[in-house]
């Protein structure tokens, strides 16, 4: 049997190249970029993004959208790509290297990917159901698209709604929503097995296989999207929809917080930050690759693709003569499964365009699915090394994912998917990225900070930073946004001013302006040192030669702008739960999402509890010795030079005392 498996493996792929450290390596930079951007670019770019724009129609949409790209997406991806490449590991190993108390953050990212990849594959099943019926003439949804979608694609049994006392969600729950039919849908199970087989083909043998697959799963859909773009924009009255998209301005909408929240959510979810696959994939780059440039390319490629692809959708919108005035708000799936199919029916050569459209969606979906599963496989391979061959790990992961996905292949699977997706996206994913940005700039090399200013000052400053965000959003929801802002800033200053007063005066230098006095040096070490030192240490590796450097404003941005914005977005999910607490699927998704919060908090308190997820030889890599202002990579290089020359090695503590005090 093993001989047959090796023969199949040899026929389907070639082994990945090896890096200097023995880790698998991408066959080319293009393969890395295509596979990585494929994780972000999926059917959501063609169907979710246009629905968000339609609901907030007008050119003013792009103001919050572009702001979110530069304040959230690019800074987050610079962090993920840089630590993956520099620390040579998946999410858990990379964040362990950042700080051993961030292991839970890496595990939370893996958890998000493992949950999303299972139900994401079911959306591909619905696409394949449409694809199968696209060969029937006339198209079977010609007379009633809603009936076909509900009864032939989803095949969901109607639930019995739950109730509240007095019919008001503010009252108590009198009965929970029930789902009378829990049976399996045979066709859904079959297409699910086919989908997971396609995923397995794309990633079972490592990045060499994934790199080759990306040329098909991303390259072909790009060409197909361009063709669809031309066809849809040439439809009768297509210009009517395109004008709504790109030639109208409604400045009054900018005063509504909804458009800002929606734009931030769209950018955040479509770029793929927080899933861990950028970290995993970057770890297979050469150690000295241009990580910052790659991160910018990935974000810009994703956002450019969805912005251009939306022209096709709005060509269809104009053709069907729909607009926000005569159409209810569009849901995430409606454009792909209702609007597009309705337009295709009226096109000449409808069957051809139906096959073409759903094949494009399927390929884009596959390109997003296997990177998420690779997050789990990379984490397992980091832990086990070469003891278990990668194809065995990948095959096991695919089989397990398929078995778990069977719960979404039932007559209530759509409702379960919606219940899990809502909270994993709105709660878990946002919290993971908030944790990445805020913790990496708080606890990275924290020994240097409290060694310079003292533990009480360090504790007070960070208590103000975190409690200010918590108190601000709480008061903002209960009272008013203005009151929340006042409470948040008030709490921050209430803690930070005493921290500045009781902190010891650092004896190490601070850069530029901050070195003018003891007070400004305290401000630098409390407010900016961890993030700035992370930037400096990463730049030793990712910013070498002609590579782009992580800019100096990056660390303050992710700590004091990006993180608070994400925490505000995170807080919006909780009030919604109160109105859905009588539905078991939403309760299940809500509880599931909080596993991420538990992992992050528990790891901060007891990092040794997470040793089982970290490679044994890397357990202590996240414990940094006291060496203020000493750049980590340079320090390691100097130690290597000493060892080669035969000199007696100086400890990191001594090196820090000699060179870091007045670096």
Domains of the chain by range and CATH?
45-162+185-440 (1.10.4160), 444-571 (no CATH), 625-663 (no CATH)
Q: How high is the pLDDT of residue 637?
A: 44
pLDDT of residue 11: 53
How far are the Cα atoms of 536, 547, 550 from residue 542, in angstroms, in the given order?
10, 7, 8
C-beta separation of 331 from 54 below 8 A? no
Could you say which residues of the chain have pLDDT below 70? 1-16, 332, 633-663
At 2 the pLDDT is 54
Q: What DSSP letter does each residue of 539-597 carry, written as one string? A: HHHHT-TTSPPPPTTHHHHIIIIIHHHHHHHHHTHHHHHHTTTT-HHHHHHHHHHHHHH
Position 576 scores a pLDDT of 84
Place of tokens 């080759």: 212
Q: How far apart are the first and last CA of the chain?
A: 61
At CB < 8 A and 24+ separation, what contacts does 509-515 make? 509/629, 509/662, 509/663
Q: What local confidence, expressed as pLDDT, does residue 661 receive? A: 33
| CB neighbour list of residue 642: distance below 8 Å, 6 or more residues apart | 648, 649, 650
Q: Bridge partners of 164? A: 173
% helix, strand, coil for the chain, step of 5: 75, 0, 25
Whole-number pLDDT of residue 261: 75
List 160's β-bridge partners, or say none. 178
3-class state of residue 269 by DSSP: helix
Over the stretch 175-201, which tens digit does the pLDDT of each residue have? 999 999 889 999 999 999 999 999 999
The pTM score is 0.90
């Amino acid at each position: 049997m093993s001989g047959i498996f090796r023969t199949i493996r040899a026929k389907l792929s070639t082994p990945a190249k090896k890096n200097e450290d023995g880790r698998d390596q991408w066959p080319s930079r293009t393969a890395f970029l295509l596979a990585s951007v494929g994780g972000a670019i999926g059917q959501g770019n063609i169907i979710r993004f246009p629905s968000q724009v339609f609901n907030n129609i007008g050119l003013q949409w792009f103001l919050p959208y572009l702001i979110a790209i530069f304040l959230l997406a690019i800074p987050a991806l610079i962090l993920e790509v840089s630590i993956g490449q520099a620390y040579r590991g998946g999410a858990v190993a990379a964040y362990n290297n950042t700080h051993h108390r961030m292991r839970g953050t890496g595990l939370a990212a893996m958890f998000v990917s493992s949950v999303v990849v299972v139900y994401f594959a079911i959306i591909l099943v619905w696409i394949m159901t449409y694809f199968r019926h696209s060969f029937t003439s006339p198209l079977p949804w010609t007379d009633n698209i809603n009936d076909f979608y509900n009864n032939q694609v989803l095949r969901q049994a109607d639930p019995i709604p739950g109730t509240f006392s007095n019919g008001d969600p503010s009252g108590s729950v009198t009965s929970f929503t029930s789902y009378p039919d829990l049976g399996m849908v045979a066709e859904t199970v079959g297409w699910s097995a086919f989908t997971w087989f396609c995923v397995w083909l794309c990633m079972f043998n490592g990045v060499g296989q994934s790199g080759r697959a990306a040329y098909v799963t991303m390259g072909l859909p790009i060409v197909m999207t361009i063709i669809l773009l031309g066809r849809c924009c040439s439809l009768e009255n297509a210009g009517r929809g395109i004008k709504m998209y790109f030639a109208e301005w409604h400045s009054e909408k900018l005063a509504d917080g909804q458009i800002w929240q929606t734009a931030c959510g769209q950018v955040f979810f479509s770029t793929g930050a927080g899933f861990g696959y950028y970290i995993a994939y970057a770890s297979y780059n050469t150690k000295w690759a241009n990580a910052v440039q790659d991160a910018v390319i990935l974000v810009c490629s994703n956002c450019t693709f969805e912005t251009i692809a939306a022209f096709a959708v709005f060509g269809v919108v104009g053709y069907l003569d729909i607009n926000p005035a005569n159409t209810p708000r569009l849901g995430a799936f409606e454009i792909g499964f209702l609007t597009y199919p309705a337009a295709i029916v009226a096109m000449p050569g409808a069957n051809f365009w139906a096959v073409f459209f759903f094949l494009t969606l399927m390929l884009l979906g596959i390109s997003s699915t296997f990177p998420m599963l690779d997050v789990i496989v990379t984490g397992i391979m980091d832990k086990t090394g070469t003891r278990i061959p990668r194809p065995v790990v990948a095959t096991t992961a695919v089989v397990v994912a398929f078995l778990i996905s069977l719960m979404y292949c039932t007559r209530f699977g759509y409702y379960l998917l919606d219940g899990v997706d809502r909270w994993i996206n709105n709660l878990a994913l946002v919290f993971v990225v908030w944790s990445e940005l805020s913790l990496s700039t708080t606890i990275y090399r924290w020994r240097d900070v409290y060694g310079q200013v003292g533990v009480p000052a360090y504790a007070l400053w960070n208590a103000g930073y975190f409690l200010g965000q918590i108190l601000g959003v709480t008061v903002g929801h209960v009272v008013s946004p203005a009151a929340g802002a006042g409470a948040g800033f008030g709490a921050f200053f209430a803690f930070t001013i005493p921290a500045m007063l009781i902190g010891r005066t650092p004896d190490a230098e601070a850069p530029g302006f901050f070195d003018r006095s003891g007070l400004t040096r305290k401000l630098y070490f409390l407010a900016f040192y961890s993030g700035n030192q992370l930037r400096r240490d990463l730049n030793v590796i990712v910013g070498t030669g002609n590579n782009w450097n992580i800019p100096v404003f990056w660390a303050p941005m992710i700590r004091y702008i990006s993180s608070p914005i994400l925490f505000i977005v995170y807080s919006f999910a909780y009030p919604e739960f109160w109105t859905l607490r009588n539905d078991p699927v939403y309760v299940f998704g809500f509880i599931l999402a909080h596993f991420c919060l538990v992992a992050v908090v528990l790891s901060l308190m007891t990092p040794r509890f997470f040793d089982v997820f970290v490679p044994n030889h890397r357990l202590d890599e996240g414990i940094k010795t006291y060496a203020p202002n000493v750049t980590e990579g340079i320090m390691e290089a100097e130690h290597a030079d000493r060892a080669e020359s035969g000199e007696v090695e100086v400890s990191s503590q001594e090196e820090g005392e000699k060179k870091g005090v007045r670096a």
